[in-house]
Amino acid sequence: MPARVVAIFRKEFLQIRHDRRTLAMVLVLPIMQLILFGYAINTVVDHLPTIVFDEAGDADSRALIGAFQNSGYFEVQAHARSAAELRSLIDAGHAKVGLHLPPDFGNQVLRGESGLVQLVIDGSDPNIAQTALFAAGAVAQARGADIASDSVARTGRSSPSGGIDLRPVVLYNPSMLSVNFMVPGIIGLILQFQTLLLTAFAVVRERERGTLEQLVVTPIKPWELMLGKLLPYTLTAFVAATGAVAGGRILFGVEVTGSLILLGILSVVFLLGSLGVGLFISTISQTQAQAMQTAMFIMLPSLLLSGFLYPRETMPLVIQQLSLLIPLTYYLQILRGIMLKGVGLEVLWPNVLPLAAFSLAVFALSAWRFQKRVG
Amino acid sequence: MTQNRSSPIIDARHLTRRFGDLIAVNDITFSVYPGEVFGFLGPNGSGKSTTIRMLCGLLLPTSGECHVLGFDVTRESEQIKQGIGYMSQRFALYEDLSVWDNLDFYARVYDVPSDRRRTRLAELVELAGLQGRERQLTGELSGGWKQRLALGCAIVHRPRLLFLDEPTAGVDPVSRRRFWAMIHDLAGEGVTVFVTTHYLDEAEHAGRIGMIHDGVLRALAPPAELKRTALQGQLLDVVSDAPLEAARILNDAPGVRDATVHGTDVHVLIDPETQSAEAIASRLRAAGIAVRAVRPIEPTLEDVFISLIGSPDDRRPVSG
């Protein structure tokens, strides 16, 4: 690495050491977020995207599916043709709930037995899983009562063992712990906010104190300055994220089920975008206060709309569409996909593509602007 | 004006810089020669900093051209950078780094070879009188220390040309004196120094002075020559019991070019053809002012400055 990049890199670390607030941001904030969000957050859910695999295909199975739909908690998105397809649609995040009705569901009901139904739930977000579980239980119970009374009307005798036998399977997060949902989100948040804020501040602070002007008079080249600024905060973000993964495991027992290497690579892609936004903010802000204000414009929507705090499924459609403009939205899908579901690129690519496109575009634009503004 | 036959180290020709409608620097032409201490004197907002920023390659000229160290400031600013040192009035130091770390950082940025870095840094610490404070945080230093450290950082790579933009602003008189001693030492080693200031007493330290006002270069000469030639007329010092009233009366009198209050005295610039010390004294006595003395004096730089551009705090354009 060129000597001048090393000079900047070294200086940033010396400054971090003297700056207690930045130090706290790097070391304490991740753990604080982990504990706060891990224990505290709860949300309300409805209209869960639902996939149906209806092998029975008769009046009774259709009536049950209708009852699920009418409850308001489930939104039937599509019909799967196999159990494997149902599972893969949930893996890919297209649906949160799967409803599997075996071929002899109608016959079981007709015979006055309990109709066996499998309910598959994506447990990565425990709020969603809880709601799905309770709502499905209520629907099945109500539908069971209807079947029983129908059967009484039809046969003239009560069927003692009628109704619906719902067998739930919770995927990815069987114990439905909030923390399994929150930990990947916190990692995304740490990576985004640390890199974005610290990068923007590191440049704007120099402008505010007049040292940027001093640097421009030296033979340092804009790209050397930029690299020297970006690398330290990339490194601290990685340390903090690693800390959060380790903390999630030690404190809450959250394991990374997928590939750590893929997680690392895609995190770099995401970081590039955050660093770019940070750089961009640094080119349009004269003071740290201005940088903070500008950052809030980006951070608040990310926090609220990306699916970090509130499941995107619960948002109005317009907002859901808007959230597709936020890189963190894609990165969260990737994080949860890799950490909880253990899936790979074959499933994640629809999230990876927009994320990579955004990151590269923003980084290139910001780097270009930075060179022009500083040079 | 050429005192030195060698080629100029700074050569500005019709240098102009506009910010929108404002002409910050208006068609100035001057040269600075190797080894000179060149003082650039003017009130706040006169265009001093804009000029120095163009010379350092921080700001592009709107028109005109300028060579520094033989390189064009517009097209070859990168080549200029390694050869110049720059110290701004804000002492661009990292307050959250120690004295040593500040010096070390700039040494690395200027590619001072690592085998020579320690000796050079120790040298600069000694020059700035900061021995024993190497590990102290820069933010804890007083103004004078910071100023000398900032100078140390600006010369860590031994530049041939040093730009100082109001280097003594906000620093106590003892520290200012010490700072100027350092500047003269550097000049003695052959470093060319371009220094801006609005302190008139400081300008006396310069070998040559350029006076700038409202972006226009009004005078360019050694201090002694300026004092001798810049004033058109005879300067009188009037000691009276009512200096403010006296200045007002004299400004309205015929044959008086200018009358300004200096402390308890009034300095009056007269046209010797039509006005005299005796006439001045009797005019004041007639107005009921007790005049203790009216005597011819040698002008100071301040007198020259005021006669050229009005009072140092007066930022109105000079009429005519």
**CB contact, 8 Å: B60 with chain A?**
no
Scanning B235-264 for CB atoms below 8 A from A yields: none
User: Cβ contacts (< 8 Å) between B111 and chain A: which residues?
Assistant: 3-4, 219
A183-199 pLDDT, tens per residue?
888 888 888 888 888 88
Average pLDDT for A288-302? 83
Q: Where a domain ends, among A171, A201, A218?
A: A171
Q: What is the structure's pLDDT at A374?
A: 65
ipTM over 0.85: no
Query: Hey, is the C-beta of B78 within 8 angstroms of any chain A C-beta?
Result: yes
Q: Which domains does chain B have, with CATH numbers?
A: 32-55+86-227 (3.40.50.300), 231-309 (3.30.70.100)
Name chain A contacts of B105, Cβ cutoff 8 Å.
Answer: 7, 10-11
How big is the CA angle at A191 (ends A190 and A192), to the nearest 5 degrees? 95
Q: What is the CATH number of the domain that holds A154?
A: 3.40.1710.10
- Flag whether residue B106 sits within 8 Å of chain A, measured between CB atoms: yes
3-state secondary structure of A115: strand
Q: Is B105 on the interface with A (CB under 8 A)?
A: yes
User: What pLDDT is stored for residue A325 in this prediction?
Assistant: 85
pLDDT band, very low/low/confident/very high, at A155 (cuts 50, 70, 90): low
Characterize A124-154 residue by residue with b for buried, 16 or more Cβ atoms within 10 angstroms of its Cβ, and e for exposed: bbbbbbbbbbebbeebbeebbebbbeebeee
CB contact under 8 A, A211 and B93: yes
C-alpha span between B187 and B115 (Å, rounded): 26
- pLDDT (tens digit, 0 to 9) for every residue of chain B, 320 residues total? 444 457 899 999 999 999 999 999 999 999 999 999 999 988 888 899 899 999 998 889 999 999 999 999 999 988 999 999 999 888 889 999 999 999 999 999 999 999 999 999 999 999 989 999 999 999 999 888 999 999 999 999 999 999 999 888 778 888 888 999 999 999 999 999 999 988 888 888 899 999 999 999 988 988 888 887 777 788 889 998 888 988 898 888 888 888 888 888 998 888 888 888 888 888 888 888 888 888 888 888 888 887 777 644 443 433 33
The answer, yes or no, to whether residue A375 has pLDDT greater than 60, is: no
**Closest-CA residue in chain A for B153?**
A214
**Buried b / exposed e along A170-185 (16+ C-beta atoms within 10 A):** bbbbeebbbbbbbbbb
Task: Note whether B140 contacts A: Cβ–Cβ < 8 A.
Answer: no
Name the closest residue on chain B to residue A208, using Cα atoms. B92
Tell me the pLDDT tens digit for each residue of A221-270: 888 988 898 899 888 888 888 888 888 888 777 888 889 999 999 999 99
Give me the pLDDT at residue B315, please: 38
- Looking at the structure of chain A, the number of domains it has is 2
Does A26 share its domain with A95? no
Task: Determine the pLDDT at residue B3.
Answer: 47
Residue from the list A3, A18, A211 with its beta carbon closest to the beta carbon of B111: A3
Contacts of residues A284-289 at CB distance under 8 Å and 24 or more positions apart, as own/partner, are A285/A200, A285/A204, A285/A207, A286/A204, A286/A207, A286/A208, A287/A204, A287/A208, A288/A201, A288/A204, A288/A205, A288/A208
Q: Containing domain of residue A349, as a range?
A: 3-40+177-374
Inspect the interface and report whether the beta carbons of B109 and A4 lie closer than 8 Å: yes
A191 and A338 inside one domain: yes
Residue where a domain terminates, one of A171, A206, A238 = A171
Indicate the average pLDDT of chain A: 83
Write out the H or E segment, with its range, that includes residue A74: strand A74-79
The residue ranking higher by pLDDT, A158 or A214, is A214
The beta-carbon neighbor of A211 closest among B56, B82, B92 is B92
Share of chain A above pLDDT 70, in %: 90
pLDDT of residue B80: 92
pLDDT per residue over A110-138, tens digit each?
777 778 888 888 888 777 887 888 888 88
Asked if residue A183 and residue A166 are part of one domain, the reply reads no
> Touching check for B64 and chain A: CB below 8 Å?
no
Chosen domain end from A171, A190, A205? A171
| Residue to substitute from A218, A288, A373, interface B, most B β-carbons within 10 A | A218
Cβ burial, residue B9 (10 Å; 0-12/13-18/19+): buried
| Residue A18 with chain B: CB contacts under 8 Å | 96-97, 137
